Chains A and B, each alone.
Chain A
């Protein structure tokens, strides 16, 4: 009788273990296919904390070598997620970025402007150039008095290797259809016309940048234009110039939200946790590939007509 009872419990244990195994397999598949391993929320609360750390690019930030890169695609998803969550009443953006791609910076700034909730930018060490563009889209900017901010300007400088390849008796065979198709390749000097064309495009992006900051900060284009020399400002200077609203840190950001929304702030941290496939893709991306191929060749292999504009 007792033996029969033991067999019964063994059968129950085996059935439970098998079903648990399938449950784990399915849970893993769900996490993988629905991207649940990408963004992890730490804690539960009413204010989302989204980190914008490193170079702002449209993609990237997943691989072992991309720790200092933030992807506008992922940040946009976090913003949309926090905005759609009714338990989240406000979003704090903790910025530590020297800027990055103009397009990626504007993508994040636009996503912030669409948010229906109160948004605060908390500039830590650096919130310059594209980093400042992002900050300017929030309702309120707080920075440390020594934070590096501003730097409203556009840069697209690159190394010209034409002298070097000439010294090594290497010839650049120019094969293009369309006379400006290889404008900006590092193997030949820019012609005066190309330089003017290039500069015009940079000026246009600079203008967009100024317009956006002026609109976001409630300043005139002329006011921002005077500040937009590309120079960076310390937090204390930026406060005087109207680029920052308050000097301080996280405590000040929380105090501002508590006063503004009449709530007790509890932070939910949005952490980008790369999935296995992210790490794999990031590790195999262009930059990592260049590590193996040689840094020198990576620098010289600037793709024709690929204008890299940094804000």
Chain B
């Protein structure tokens, strides 16, 4: 018999019982997750960035990075790796538990439109966290679609056939 995991949420659960999670719950959950990621995963990079980045206005920082291509490159590499780590945080927890820390506190969960939530679905729905083209386009497209669709789905959620729903129990 196939073992049923925590993330095996039936289709009818998502649409009929729990229902799509509200935008505000989702935003609060995302903010909580960002705080966790910033506090825990960004911690090792903080020292490096403090050393190489000036504490200055946006304009001064911009011109500093313009005149220091090697520093810009280092920062880009750090941000890319940090983006991958953040994607893994979201993807692994959503795959294993259906929830991240933020979603646990706001009592929402990720549901699959197919029967079982797969890792690739969790990875695709978090692709916007990778700070390189074309994924950065999702920073604009994703929130717009979330506000336009009835199910509050982002583009990456539509593509990954997932939806965030209220936790039912």
Contact = CB atoms under 8 A, between A and B. Distances in A.
Partners in one complex: yes
B45 interface: yes
Interface stretch (B11-19, B46-54, B140-148): B46-54
B6 A8 contact: yes
B122 to A, nearest CB: 12
Interface in A83-99: 84-87
B149 interface: no
Given A22-B85, A23-B41, A87-B64, A12 B48 contact: no
A24 interface: yes
Contacts of A4: 6
B43 A23 contact: yes
Contacts of B99: 8
A30 interface: yes
B81 to A, nearest CB: 5
Contact of A87 (B44, B56, B77, B85): B56
Interface string A58-88: 0000000000000000000000010011110
B60 A86 contact: yes
A27 B64 contact: no
A20 B89 CA distance: 10
B34 interface: no
A85 B53 CA distance: 9
B93 interface: yes
Interface stretch (A36-44, A117-125, A157-165, A176-184): A36-44
Given A11-B96, A12-B93, A19-B41, A85 B48 contact: no
Contact of A36 (B36, B48, B55): B48
A26 interface: yes
A304 interface: no
Contacts of B104: 8
B32 interface: no
Given A44-B55, A84-B67, A84-B68, A12 B41 contact: no
A23 B45 contact: yes
Q: For chain B, which range describes its interface: under 10, 10 to 19, 20 to 34, or 35 or more residues?
A: 35 or more
A36 B45 contact: no
Contacts of A204: none
B88 interface: yes
Nearest to B68: A84
Nearest to A83: B67
B63 A86 contact: yes
A86 B43 CA distance: 26
B63 A30 contact: no
A277 B93 CA distance: 39
Contacts of A86: 54, 56, 60, 63-64
Nearest to A4: B6
Given A11-B97, A12-B101, A85 B89 contact: no
Contacts of A11: 93, 96-97
Interface string A1-16: 0001000100110011
Given A8-B6, A36-B51, A16 B40 contact: yes
A170 interface: no
Nearest to A34: B74
A20 B52 contact: no
Contacts of A12: 93, 97, 101
B93 A15 contact: yes
A23 B48 contact: no
Contacts of B158: none
A154 B155 CA distance: 72
B78 interface: yes
A19 B85 contact: yes
B97 A27 contact: no
B92 interface: yes
A196 interface: no
Nearest to A86: B60
Nearest to A37: B51
A8 B97 contact: yes
Interface of B: 6, 36, 40-45, 47-48, 51-52, 54-56, 60, 63-64, 67-68, 70, 74, 77-78, 81-82, 85, 88-89, 92-93, 96-97, 99, 101, 104
Given A30-B78, A41-B51, 8 more contacts: A4-B6, A11-B93, A12-B93, A19-B40, A23-B44, A26-B44, A30-B77, A40-B51
